[in-house]
């Protein structure tokens, strides 16, 4: 695995906005300057995750999860630190000179062998598409406007009859067990046979570009038009999007990712020069797929078919994406044609123009729900009005709520302003019993611990505070506090500024990271440089240290009997008492 320099890591961290990165994974809530979210690291229902934009850190006050932008991605995706750095660089469009493969952990040998089988299968089928036996299939693709360049880009292939793929892979030394594991062959009463025979094949890849399955089309009328790979060790359909690995970067550049139903939709957009397009392959959109899409862009644009099934699927997927914090758009396709047909009938420019004509989620839901009810019937019109009203109340914008309420009144003739819910009235709810973690109530800190934390807080804010600490004290009593102090001192050797987000990468010890986060998030500590506060904390800590020393001497005096030793201890006690008197006088 490649090594990323500390300078590059720091540069990526500064380039990234932790709020923007986290919002690619979970919905965030802004209230004034406060940024909060429902914590994904425990069973949270109230926003207990706080994100500090100025410090570029996050902290949950229930489960104590916290860290910088790399820490969030690392913990959310359950990946290593180096891979999290690469992910953050991807999300914020930071150019890394080394290829992504250099930063990713090695694939285990089992998956590597299956990927090898899949790559061999793709190569064979691409070759077969150009053979004489595939002439009618190749002509079909040509008629659909699919050029050799498109075939090469999407690795389109063909597998003929008579188990040609299995025969080829056996000759290449691959075991039937691996072919079965990839669902390239299947067992029937007559033996092992190819799954994708007499079909045009379109490889499916994971987010890193590894081949994991196929969707395949037949030209035979009596067979299902498309079949997909069954779920395997590599392929889980609800976790994968067709063309995702190619669409990631174009989507980030375009500021939105387009979601279609099938492979031919993706290819049609590609022919028009639009590459920020993925497909769900005709299955219902899942939360896992939405999470993947949000890593491309927070704006998800749906372009499903215009028929009833496609519109119903759009409504479900768009609502799901919105609930997960995505900004949702729907392409307003009034042609009744799919993207490929639009190009064939009206040309590429027509498809490009259509992608610029989008509806908001509320606009789409209004029109979609209108088709679900008979508005000539009073009861159904009433149900329609109440259902649309529910959608309107979920709008975050006051203008949108007023506008759509007015439109709904015009369509139904109802005075819907009177139906507005009085949100000022508290709703009585029965307490819900659950086993969720409760907000932790910290025990009051003793004076010594409080003083150490205030010293560290001051050191975080100013290099001058760090110099005062070194000259007047030099060390802290608590082991974790001392480790924090060493990290801070070391940070000032490299720079005049100490960034908490950078410090979190300076140690692998979770206890030290946790203490740094707690100090940085503690509203009771003075977090701007104040020399009087710092000196007072140092003085209190010295006083606490002397008080502890005094207790030790008194304990020894009760135990020893040697006169000389007693005299020496009494002298030490007197000296300490004088120093304590001095500290008390200074404080007074």
Per-residue model confidence (pLDDT) at position 432: 45
Per-residue model confidence (pLDDT) at position 187: 93
Q: Is the pLDDT of residue 480 over 50?
A: yes
Per-residue model confidence (pLDDT) at position 422: 43
Most confident segment among 270-284, 495-509, 523-537, 559-573: 270-284
Q: Answer yes or no: are the C-beta atoms of 333 and 350 closer than 8 Å.
A: no
pLDDT band for 429, please (50, 70, 90 cuts).
very low
Per-residue model confidence (pLDDT) at position 588: 56
Q: What 3-state class would DSSP assign to 150? A: helix
| CB proximity list for 271: less than 8 A, separation 6 or greater | 145, 146, 150, 343, 348
pLDDT band for 577, please (50, 70, 90 cuts).
confident
Q: Is the pLDDT of residue 436 over 70?
A: no
Q: Is the pLDDT of residue 424 over 50?
A: no
Q: Residue 59, by phi and psi: left (phi above 0), alpha (psi -120 to 50) or beta?
A: beta
pLDDT band for 539, please (50, 70, 90 cuts).
confident
Pick the closest to residue 51 from 43, 41, 59 (CA basis): 59
531 or 422, higher pLDDT: 531
Per-residue model confidence (pLDDT) at position 428: 47
Per-residue model confidence (pLDDT) at position 105: 60
Mean pLDDT for the stretch of residues 59-86: 89
Q: Is the pLDDT of residue 254 over 60?
A: yes
Per-residue model confidence (pLDDT) at position 176: 95
Per-residue model confidence (pLDDT) at position 140: 95
Tallying the residues shown for the chain, one arrives at 588
Its sign, for the CA torsion 280, 285, 288, 290, is positive
Q: How many of the other CB atoms lie within 10 Å of CB of 198?
A: 17
Pick the closest to residue 338 from 431, 289, 247, 267 (CA basis): 267
Q: Is the pLDDT of residue 367 over 70?
A: yes
Q: From CA 23, how far away is CA 21, in angstroms rounded?
A: 5
Of 10-14, 120-124, 372-376, 417-421, minimum mean pLDDT range: 417-421
Q: Is the pLDDT of residue 298 over 70?
A: yes
DSSP labels for 414-426? Answer: --GGGG---TTSP
Mean pLDDT for the stretch of residues 554-565: 81
pLDDT band for 247, please (50, 70, 90 cuts).
very high
Q: Give 547-571 as a 3 state SS string.
A: HHHHHHHHHHHCCCCCHHHHHHHHH
Pick the closest to residue 226 from 249, 204, 211, 209 (CA basis): 204
Q: Is the pLDDT of residue 427 over 70?
A: no
Please give the backbone phi and psi of residue 474, each rounded to the nearest 5 degrees, phi first: 90, -20
Per-residue model confidence (pLDDT) at position 430: 47
Mean pLDDT for the stretch of residues 77-106: 79
Of 49-53, 90-94, 111-115, minimum mean pLDDT range: 90-94
pLDDT band for 583, please (50, 70, 90 cuts).
low
Q: Answer yes or no: are the C-beta atoms of 504 and 518 closer than 8 Å.
A: no
DSSP labels for 207-250? Answer: TTS-EEEEEEE---TTS-SEEEPPP-SS--GGG--BTHHHHHHH
Placement of tokens 């010295």 in the chain? 542
438 or 569, higher pLDDT: 569
Per-residue model confidence (pLDDT) at position 91: 87
pLDDT, tens digit, for every residue of 157-190? 999 999 999 999 999 999 999 999 999 999 988 8
Per-residue model confidence (pLDDT) at position 107: 63
Mean pLDDT for the stretch of residues 298-315: 91
Share of the chain above pLDDT 70, in %: 92
Per-residue model confidence (pLDDT) at position 441: 47
Q: From CA 376, how far away is CA 53, in angstroms rounded?
A: 53
| Burial label, 587 (beta-carbon count in 10 A; 0-12, 13-18, 19+) | exposed
Per-residue model confidence (pLDDT) at position 426: 46
Placement of tokens 């209230």 in the chain? 31
Q: Answer yes or no: are the C-beta atoms of 98 and 2 closer than 8 Å.
A: yes
Per-residue model confidence (pLDDT) at position 301: 97
């Amino acid at each position: 695995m490649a090594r990323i320099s500390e300078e590059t890591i720091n540069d990526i961290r500064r380039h990234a906005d932790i709020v923007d990165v986290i919002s690619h994974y979970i919905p965030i809530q802004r209230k004034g300057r406060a940024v909060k979210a429902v914590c994904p690291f425990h069973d949270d229902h109230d926003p207990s995750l706080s994100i500090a934009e100025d410090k570029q850190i996050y902290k949950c006050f229930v489960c104590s999860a916290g860290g910088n932008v790399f820490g969030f991605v690392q913990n959310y995706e359950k990946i290593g630190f180096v891979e999290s750095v690469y992910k953050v660089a991807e999300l914020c469009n930071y150019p890394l000179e080394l290829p992504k493969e250099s930063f990713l952990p090695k694939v285990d040998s089992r998956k590597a062998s299956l990927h090898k089988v899949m790559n061999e299968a793709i190569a064979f089928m691409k070759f077969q598409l150009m053979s004489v036996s595939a002439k009618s299939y190749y002509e079909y693709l040509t008629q659909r406007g699919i050029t050799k360049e498109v075939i090469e880009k999407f690795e389109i292939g063909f597998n003929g009859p008579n188990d040609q793929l299995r025969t080829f892979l056996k000759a290449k030394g691959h075991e039937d067990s691996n072919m079965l594991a990839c669902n390239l062959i299947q067992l029937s009463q007559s033996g092992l046979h190819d799954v994708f025979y007499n079909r045009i094949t379109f490889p499916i890849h994971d987010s890193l570009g590894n081949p994991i399955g196929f969707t395949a089309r037949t030209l035979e009328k009596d067979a299902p038009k498309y079949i997909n790979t069954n779920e395997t060790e590599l392929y889980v359909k609800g976790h994968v999007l067709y063309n995702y690995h190619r669409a990631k970067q174009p989507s980030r550049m375009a500021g939105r990712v387009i979601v279609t139903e099938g492979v031919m939709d993706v290819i049609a957009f590609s022919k028009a020069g639009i590459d920020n397009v993925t497909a769900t392959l005709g299955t219902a959109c899942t939360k896992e797929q939405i999470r993947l899409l949000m890593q491309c862009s927070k704006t998800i644009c749906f372009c499903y078919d215009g028929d009833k099934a496609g519109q119903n699927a759009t409504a479900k997927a768009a609502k799901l994406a919105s609930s997960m914090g995505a900004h949702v758009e729907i392409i307003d396709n009034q042609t009744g044609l799919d993207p490929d047909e639009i190009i064939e009938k009206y040309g590429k420019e027509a498809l490009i123009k259509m992608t610029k004509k989008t509806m908001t989620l509320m606009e789409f839901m209004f029109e979609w729900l209108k088709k679900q009810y008979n508005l000539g019937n009073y009861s159904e019109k009433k149900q329609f009005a109440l259902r649309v009203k529910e959608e309107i109340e979920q709008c975050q914008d006051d203008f949108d709520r007023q506008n759509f309420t007015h439109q709904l009144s015009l369509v139904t003739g109802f005075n819907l302003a009177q139906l507005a819910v009085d949100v000022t009235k508290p709703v009585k709810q029965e307490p819900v019993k659950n086993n969720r973690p409760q907000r932790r109530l910290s025990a009051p800190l003793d004076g010594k611990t409080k003083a150490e934390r205030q010293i560290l807080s001051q050191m975080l804010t100013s290099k001058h505070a760090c110099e005062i600490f070194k000259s007047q004290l030099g060390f802290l009593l608590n082991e974790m506090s001392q480790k924090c102090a060493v990290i801070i001192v070391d940070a000032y050797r490299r720079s005049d500024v100490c960034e908490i987000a950078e410090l979190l990468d300076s140690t692998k010890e979770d206890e030290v990271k946790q203490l740094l986060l707690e100090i940085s998030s503690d509203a009771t500590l003075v977090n701007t440089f104040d020399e009087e506060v710092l000196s007072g904390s140092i003085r209190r800590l010295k006083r606490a240290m002397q008080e502890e020393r005094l207790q030790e001497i008194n304990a020894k005096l009760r135990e020893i009997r040697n006169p000389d030793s007693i005299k020496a201890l009494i002298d030490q006690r007197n000296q300490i008492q004088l120093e304590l008197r001095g500290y008390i006088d200074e404080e007074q």
